[in-house]
Amino acid sequence: MWEYAPAPESRDIANLKPDYRMFVDGQFVEGGGEPLKTINPGTEEVLAEVSTAAPADVDKAVKAARRAYDRVWGRMPGSERAKYIFRIARLVQERSRELAVLESLDNGKPIKESRDVDVPTAAAHFFYHAGWADKLGHAGYGPDPKPLGVAGQVIPWNFPLLMAAWKIAPALACGNTVVLKPAETTPLSALVLAEIIQQADLPPGVVNILPGAGDVGAAVVSHPDVDKVAFTGSTDVGKVIQRQLAGTGKKLTLELGGKAANIVFDDAPLDQAVEGIVNGIFFNQGHVCCAGSRLLVQESVAEELLEKLRVRVSTLRVGDPLDKNTDIGAINSREQLTRIEELTASGEAEGAQRWTSSCPLPDKGFYFAPTVFSNVSQAMRIAREEIFGPVLSVLTFRTPDEAVAKANNTPYGLSAGIWTEKGSRILWAAQKMRAGVVWANTFNRFDPTAPFGGYQESGFGREGGRTGLEAYLDV
């Protein structure tokens, strides 16, 4: 039998330092908060100590951002801003290996994903938005749309660098300044992005990065001098923020949870549908808000498709995130692992049929073998709640109308997938889908030119594309 030899990327490439500090007004400074230790979820070892922000630091950062906005960035011509953003994009590319390894160490995602998806897409977002900076008058928001001011941004742990890029690039392109809080468990790549921002010679205060827990995020979004809030994370926190901001006049965009349906019709290209299902739910360990966590498959092909799916999932390699052949890395934290275990237990208790890949798991670190539940009904928790892990719930349908009804039967509405070789059915189903992003015969494709965002409890506002600029303009 052919065993692939270990092919680990060297962790030295990450240039890991023993401690990291927050980035305020162009300087790396010690924060007043309790320092946090960030760990490698693949091994449970401590990677580095990171200083966090106290309330006074948040105030200092917002003041710095305001100053930078008033004096430099807000009045700088777009063509000049573009030069800085292009510089950031090129530096992200230059340091891409370092960023990829660091991201995999801190987050647990496989190196092939951080290398081939996260980092290149992050660079692409800076490139794309740099191009907009001097063309905002042609974006459809009037001849000379104005920025909003200071943007307070809070991002999640599933795509630490990519989410920072999604947030920072459009804000800067439109002329805003930024105070960003990375997730508590994954602060490192955002702080290396801060180094890049320093290297790119951005004026002090244009971008400020404040690590910390939820309290820091709360302080950032509720700071009276913040004009715009952008949050990506859980629906619960999103609701708290929305409540807090009501009546303040702050502009808000939220990108929250999801429970996306991947609908496979009986005339689908089955082998590629299997690939799309695998990509939809096992990409990034399923830590994807737009993950295709509910598979809706037409009864006439369900058995064949599920058999193919199990065979395919059995080939997924779970293990060391730094190994270049790893398909599924580590779950980001013990807390998240516990939640996945709890929800899968509820699936079994509620009578769904569980199948779990027999792949070997490492002894240390947080790992969860890819799991597929069949015989799932809409009433079960695993069909309604976001699991945010490598767990797929399979439901079946008989008619296209039933598929659409089941797909839309969720409080969320972030993404959906449609698999059929019939073009008219794609268009019909896409129109019926209450989801911000609909993929046809593919899944989890991201591009800076395509707007991304949700319906209902998945949030509002769009990121990316021309539409995404609106969130950072006074229109």
Partner 1 sequence: MAATSTAPSLPPALADAVRDDASLRRFLHGLPGVDQVGVEQRAAGLGTRSIKKAAKLWAIDTAISMVDLTTLEGADTHGKVRSLAAKARRPDPERPDVPKVAAVCVYPDMVATAVGELRGTGINVASVATAFPSGRSSLPVKLADTAFAVEAGASEIDMVIDRGAFLSGRYGQVFDEIVQVKHACGDAHLKVILETGELATYDNVRRASWLALLAGGDFIKTSTGKVTPAATLPVTHVMLQAVRDWHTQTGDLRGVKPAGGIRSTKDAIRYLVAVHEVAGPEWLTPDLFRFGASTLLNDLLMQRRTQLEGHYSGPDYVTVD
Site size with partner 1, rule: CB under 8 A: 24
* CA distance linking residue 50 with residue 33, whole number of Å: 10
Which residues, other chains included, contact 255 with Cβ-Cβ below 8 Å and sequence gap of 6+? 230, 231, 232, 233, 289, 414, 452, 453, 454, 458, 459, 461, 463
Q: How far is the CB of 266 from partner 1 (least distance, A)?
A: 9
Task: Write the Ramachandran bin of 156: left for phi over 0, alpha for psi from -120 to 50, otherwise beta.
Answer: beta
Q: Which of the ranges 30-38, 84-92, 94-102, 262-270 carries the binding residues for partner 1, by CB under 8 A?
A: 262-270
Is 255 catalytic? The answer is: yes
Task: Give the integer Cα–Cα distance in Å for 204 and 109.
Answer: 32
Q: Show the site string, 282-311: x = touches partner 1 by CB under 8 A, - = not.
A: -------------------------x----
351 binds partner 1 (CB under 8 A): no
Q: Segment near partner 1 (CB under 8 A), from 101-109, 229-237, 270-278, 343-351?
A: 270-278
Which of 271, 303, 335, 348 forms a contact with partner 1 (CB under 8 A)? 271
Task: Please pick, among 9, 98, 103, 255, the residue that the annotation labels catalytic.
Answer: 255
**Contact window for partner 1 (CB under 8 A) among 199-207, 236-244, 272-280, 374-382:** 272-280
Residue from 66, 81, 87, 112 that binds partner 1 (CB under 8 A)?
112
Q: What is the DSSP letter of 140?
A: T
Q: Which two tokens stand for residue 369?
A: 């073998």
* Distance between CA atoms of residues 276 and 271, nearest Å: 9
Query: Which residue stretch of 163-171, 174-182, 268-276, 430-438 sits at the interface with partner 1 (rule: CB under 8 A)?
Result: 268-276
Site string for partner 1, 68-107 (x = CB under 8 A): ----------------------------------------
| Binding of residue 324 to partner 1 (CB under 8 A) | yes
Spell out, one character per residue from 407 to 446, where the chain touches partner 1: x when CB under 8 A holds, - when not. --------------x-------------------xx----
CB nearer to partner 1: give 3 or 12: 3
Q: Which helix (H) or strand (E) holds 237?
A: helix 235-245
Name which of 405 and 427 has its Cβ closer to partner 1: 427
Nearest approach, Cβ of residue 307 and partner 1 (Å): 7
Nearest-10 Cα torsion for 265, 270, 276, 280: 60
Is residue 334 within the footprint of partner 1 (CB under 8 A)?
A: no
**Dist. CA 323–CA 232, nearest whole Å:** 29
Q: Tell me: does residue 12 bind partner 1 (CB under 8 A).
A: no
* Interacting span for partner 1 (CB under 8 A) from 100-108, 246-254, 263-271, 289-297: 263-271
* Residue 267 Cβ vs partner 1, minimum distance, rounded to whole Å: 8
In sequence order, what are the residues at sequence separation of 6 or more whose Cβ sits closer than 8 angstroms to the Cβ of residue 331? 41, 108, 285, 287, 337, 340, 366, 367, 368, 389
Q: How far apart are CA 368 and CA 284, in angstroms?
A: 12
- Is 120 a residue that touches partner 1 (CB under 8 A)? no
How many helices (H) does the chain have, and how many strands (E)? 16, 18
Tell me whether residue 119 or residue 169 sits nearer to partner 1 (CB atom).
119
Q: What is the C-alpha separation between 244 and 274, in angstroms, rounded?
A: 43
Minimum CB separation of residue 337 from partner 1 in Å reads 26
CA of residue 35 relative to chain centroid, distance: 25
333, 365, 324, 364: which is closest to 101 by C-alpha? 324
Exposure string of 227-261, with b = 16+ CB inside 10 Å and e = fewer, is: bbbbbbbebebbeebbeebeeeebbbbbbbbbbbb
CB of 217 to partner 1, least distance (A): 35
> Tokens 């647990």 identify what position?
108
Asked if 269 interacts with partner 1 (CB under 8 A), we say: yes
User: Can you list the alpha helix ranges (DSSP code H) found in 75-118?
Assistant: 78-94, 96-107, 111-113
What is the bridge-based pairing of β-strands 177-181 and 207-209?
parallel
Residue from 199, 272, 300, 353 binding partner 1 (CB under 8 A): 272
Q: Which stretch binds partner 1 (CB under 8 A): 75-83, 134-142, 181-189, 264-272?
A: 264-272
Chain residues in the site for partner 1 (CB under 8 A): 1-7, 112, 116, 267-272, 275-276, 307, 315, 324-325, 421, 441-442
| Residues known to be catalytic | 255
